[in-house]
Structure 1
Amino acid sequence: MLKNSLYFFLLLIGVQLQAQPGWKLPTVQEPHFGKAVYRITSYGAVPDGYILNTKSIQEAIDACSQKGGGMVQVPSGLWLTGPIVLKSGVNLNLAAGATLLFTPDKSQYPLVKANWEGFPQMRNQSPISAENARNIAITGSGIIDGNGDAWRAVKKEKLTESQWKKRVASGGVLSEDGRIWMPSESYARGDALKDPGRITADKTGAFYASVKDFFRPNLLVLTSCDGVLLEGVTFQNSPAWCLHPLMSRNITMRNVVVKNPWYAQNGDGIDLESCSNVRIENSVFDVGDDALCMKSGRDADGRQRAMPTKDVVISGCTVYAAHGGFVVGSEMSGGVNNVYVSNCTFIGTDIGLRFKTTRGRGGIVENIFIRDIYMKDIPGDAILFDMYYMAKDPVPLEGEKAALPKVEQLPVNETTPQFRNIDIRNVYVNGAQRAVLLRGLPEMPVKDIRIHNAVFQSDNGVSIQDAAGIGFKNVKIFNRNTGPVVDVVNAQDIRFDGLLYNEQVPLLIRVSGSGSKALRFTNTPYHKTTKKLETAAGATVAAVSFQ
């Protein structure tokens, strides 16, 4: 049934995208495994949550791979373990009632050369990892728990008073301002430094060891793998990112649950980094940071790698707590293209569709097709394109302020990021702080964005700054506040066809800046607004046409 549904979804998208040159639907090859079964109990594993089973589980994985592959079976029970490495041909299968619990003892996680946000970095070994593996899987009905609370710092504003007192009483270290709890002195030393994990010739093993606790591992890291299946399992409580396929291809993820506490710093759901040929379907995310995130390396390192994330199909997913539901960036310096997202629901997610970058990244994000998205109770923007990402929570916490960026025009070069050619259709939003924010750079506008067939029930309407070639068609905006339905600053070639909005809105459109021009409204009932147009800061009435 799932394969048939996906086939018809791809067929439908293919019909709709025939007019888009260069768009090609991906083919994802799933792995296959031998029939041999290797039970971890045969290698001495004990399910009591006390005995460390690292050696037994790894021996079962190694034997399975060396003998041609098959299933490594984890029966029901509480299996305490240190980090394990998947090998080619191995399907790690967790039975119902099985919990693979990773030890909070950090001494069990050796420092290894790895990658973080696109940079070569020293990290603690991930609880589960694989490198250059072929045909690997994690399947079943069990739980994989990364014991992330032993690793993560926590902001005071993200806990209740009693939770905060309990956390402080447990030990650890407070930041100088008393607003952040850190698990150890080692973590605090690393937190005070800039890029302590970056691998450079001047850093010694003793230095890395002195800040070891700061190098939180991602729960699952799959590097340069081909043929990956994640199915049915719950991944939860990761120290940092939960699922991190890196420079891998032919990845299938279905019916997976990804859970992190909502306060989990860097507690992303899945980060596809420089990956290709990926299918994610019918999975649920309830996490502390971005949920479904597309990345491709950061700044010069990402541009040098030059491996975009591409050919990705996402369908039937649900996101609860997260900074963003479907997200691109901000580490997208190698580019992101050919991504197809459909039939996803975001409930209580800070931002729904979140595209973020900043100067210095470079990279091109293009050919993204999104349809049938349903949102409820979004605290921030339902749809956001922002080229001024400042690495802060998208919804300010108590005591924080969302400062406006400094707007200045700089030269265009390889460090200038680009968002272009993105098609969004059939979006229905019941509750958001703002319907849409499109904010480009003066030297590089957000370009060629189409939003068709959408209903936004939001506090505020649409805000557009430094954008070009933007089309809204059959869009309804029911904003609760008295500000303009559409607010435009230095944008051009903006088209609204069939815009509907509240009765007796005080102002339809406010236009600012001398760079605003070619703003067109058609098939729009202008009698519903008290005032149709207001101009400011050098904009003229000639910039807007009403038909």
Structure 2
Amino acid sequence: MNNNRRFFLKAFASSSLVGTAALMGCKSASVNTLLTPTDNNDWSAAEAIKKNIKVPQFPESAFNIVDFGAQSGGTFNNSHAIKKAILTCHQQGGGKVIIPEGVFYTGPIHLLSNVNLHLEKNAVLSFSTNPDDYLPAVFTRWEGLEMMGYSPLIYAYGQQNIAITGEGVLEGNANNTTWWPWKGPHKEKHWELQYQENGQLMDQKPARKQLMVDAENALPVTERIYADGAYLRPPFIQPYRCNNVLIEGVTIKNSPFWLVNPVLCNSVTVSGVTFSSHGPNSDGCDPESCNHVHIKDCTFDTGDDCIAIKSGRNADGRRVNTPSANIVIENCHMKEGHGGVVIGSEISGGVNNVYVQDCTMDSPHLERAIRIKTNSVRGGLIAHIRIRNVEVGTVKNAIVINFFYEEGDAGQFDPTVRDIVIDNLHCNNVLDKAFYLNGFERAPIKDFTIINSHFDNVAKQSIVKNITDFNVENVTLNNQSISAKQLLAESI
């Protein structure tokens, strides 16, 4: 790390006003009291969650970026014009900032309250791949750890009533030569490694390791400076501590890192979005420590988890201590990805009240349909998960709950995973296992129920260990009825 310490002071010295304001007491998003639905009324409670989400509304005023000096063509830097249009819209009470048809090159965009960034049909926002454009550093969360880092491509901190809408494309250009190689050497490498002039590899691993040390040692976030020289790639869209967020209709392509990552937000709607990015850590939608989230009618074709619900990592997640809660996912289609609907692994703040229904998944490159990943370093309470009416074509593993993810059993914070019901899950072609459920003997998975579900063309035997109150009813594997007792016996 010694050769990289320069990024600490350089980024700190130039921390943005947004980042500074974040540390000076901007109000956080309100967190509503968790719902506690009864078993007999689960899905009406899901409807109540949706009704309690406030979708932002905007005045009719429109602010076309061309009127502020923007030029299409993909080479002129429109950062100043877009910033001016957003500020004017905000100052005049809100409305739409219009991105018209054409290709508009830009650096990072910071949204303000009551602004709807609207991309018209055939509009493309093409984002710079020059890391210097994403300085000064801002207050952000990276893999569940708070820090000062590169600005997300679209960012907002402490704002109210914001949106990104329309039929246009958000192009991150990370499939070119800048962002993805920073992942460094990796088993899934499909990018050329990059080197500094002195021959040093541009690799996120040293800074990632040091950030984890800083967080475990409770180093103040103001001193966790991980921008220039750290090679920690920014997410595409990250509203942070915002209320009433809407992302609707757009296509998001080739993100440096996670695509949509709302953090500590209240009332988030993600609707009709197409997620298309096959780079490293190309998670689709990752609500993190958010309350009241509705993800609907979206298509995911990603290089990592399609949807991953998160709540902070390790000691830092426990310090912030805010779960993700009251989340409804419906009518989505998952293609490629590490997992269809995932909880974890940055899960130390916990997850409550998640409802998934009427989704489809299908790809030989989809590794898992439903997945919970944690360990005794992450910990966290994961409770009241309801899943129904999910149709899966081809998948590697159908249902995975793993307490030994990444660090394994190396900590002192046993996770609690309980109260899960899966109803009417059908997998046509399971390339590996129907079930991989593996808790701790001292802290087993609890109260897991699966009913009316069928797994066809299953290649391998399931593994089910360390689980209590395991209920299986009307479930078949390869057209043969299976019981909880049989699944447990097969795994002895």
Same fold (TM over 0.5): yes
- Bigger mean CA deviation after superposition, 214-223 or 192-201: 192-201
Q: CA deviation at 1:338?
A: 0.7
1:145–1:236 CA contact under 8 A, matched in 2: yes
CA RMSD of superposed structures (Å): 3.1
1:152 to 180, 188, 204: 180
The answer to whether the Cα contact below 8 Å between 1:284 and 1:319 also exists between their aligned partners in 2 is: yes
In structure 1, give the amino acid aligned to 2:152: S
Tell me which of 322, 325, 345 is aligned to 1:310: 325
Partner of 2:20: none
Aligned 8 A contact 2:425 2:454 in 1: yes
301 and 52 in structure 1: CA distance in 2 versus 1, 3 angstrom threshold = same
Is 1:113 aligned to residue 139 of structure 2?
A: yes
Question: Per-residue CA shift, 1:182-206, capped at 9, x if unaligned?
Answer: 9996763542455344668699999
Percent of aligned pairs sharing the same letter: 33
Q: Is the 8 A contact 1:78 1:101 kept in 2?
A: yes
Once the two structures are superposed, the pairs formed by residues 213-232 of structure 1 within 5 Å of their partners are: 214-232=231-249
Render the CA deviation track for 1:464-500: whole Å, top value 9, x for unaligned. Answer: 11111111100010189xxx978xxxxxxx457xx9x
Number of equivalences: 441
Tell me, what secondary structure is at the counterpart of 2:316? helix
In structure 2, what is the equivalent of residue 68 of structure 1? 93
- Residue 49 of structure 1 deviates from its aligned partner by 0.3
Structure 1 unaligned residues grouped into runs of 5+? 1-13, 174-181, 392-404, 487-493, 500-507, 513-547
Aligned counterpart, 1:449: 448
- Map residues 161-176 of structure 1 onto 2, 5 A cutoff: 168=192, 172-173=194-195
CA distance in 2, matches of 1:21, 1:92: 33
1:96-131 alpha-carbon deviations (Å, 9 max, x no partner): 100001011111111333211221223211110001
What residue number does 2:434 align with? 435
Query: In structure 2, do the counterparts of structure 1 residues 185 and 269 end up closer, same or farther at CA, with 3 Å as the change threshold?
Result: farther
Aligned to 2:490: 510
Structure 1 stretch displaced more, 38-47 or 370-379: 370-379
The separation in 2 between residues aligned to 1:57 and 1:184, in whole angstroms, is 37
Structure 1 residues 440-484: Cα deviation after superposition (integer angstroms, max 9, x where no partner): 01110011010101110111243211111111100010189xxx9
Moved more, 299-308 or 225-234: 299-308
Which has the higher Rg, Structure 1 or Structure 2?
A: 1
Report the CA distance between 1:420 and its aligned residue: 0.2
- After superposition, where does 1:288-303 map in structure 2 within 5 Å? 288-303=303-318
SS of residue in 2 equivalent to 1:62: helix
Name the CA shift for 1:234/1:123 in 2 (closer, same or farther; >3 Å): same
Report SS of the residue matched to 2:420: strand
Instruction: Indicate yes or no: 2:407 matched with 1:384.
Output: no
What is aligned with 1:9? Answer: none
Q: Pick from 18, 29, 41: which aligns with 2:41?
A: 18
Is 2:268 the partner of 1:251? yes
- State the AA in 1 paired with 2:439: G
Q: What is residue 61 of structure 2 aligned with on the other side?
A: 36
Alignment of 1:486-505 (within 5 A): 494=484
Q: Structure 1 residues 42 and 197, CA, compared in 2 at 3 Å: closer, same or farther?
A: farther
Match of 1:394 in 2: none
Q: Distance in 2 between matches of 1:353 and 1:416?
A: 21
Give the distance between the partners of 1:136 and 1:82, measured in 2 at CA. Answer: 19
Q: Residue in 2 aligned with 1:361?
A: 378
Q: Alpha carbons of 1:287 and 1:66: their partners in 2 closer, same or farther (altered >3 Å)?
A: same
**Aligned to 1:38, what secondary structure does the other structure show?**
strand
TM-score between the two structures when normalised by the length of structure 1: 0.75
Corresponding letter in the other structure for 2:180: R
2:450 maps to amino acid: I
How far does the alpha carbon of each residue in 1:397-443 deviate from its partner, in whole angstroms, 9 at most, with x for none?
A: xxxxxxxx78x9x9xx6x11111001000010011111011100111
Which of 415, 422, 425 aligns to 1:424? It is: 422
Partners of 2:368 and 2:428 in 1: CA distance: 13
Q: What letter corresponds to residue 436 of structure 1 in structure 2? A: F
- Residues 68-115 of structure 1 show CA distances to partners (whole Å, capped at 9, x for unaligned) of 000000001010000010000001100110000101111111133321
Whether the 8 Å CA contact 1:190–1:196 is kept in 2: the answer is no
Aligned counterparts, 1:398-417, within 5 A: 415-417=413-415
Contact 1:123 1:197 in 2 (8 A): no
Letter in 1 for 2:347: M
Letter in 1 for 2:374: T
1:8 — aligned with what?
Answer: none
Distance 1:232 1:194, change over 3 A: closer
**SS of equivalent to 1:285:** strand
Higher relative contact order (CA 8 A, sep 6+): 2
- Is 1:211 aligned to residue 236 of structure 2? no
Indicate conservation of the 8 Å contact 2:70/2:78, yes or no: yes
Greater per-residue strand proportion: 1
Q: From the superposition, tell whether residues 311 and 246 of structure 1 become closer, same or farther in structure 2 (CA, over 3 Å).
A: same
Partner Cα distance (1:424, 1:311) in 2: 17
Which deviates further from its counterpart, 187-196 or 445-454? 187-196
TM-score (norm 2): 0.83
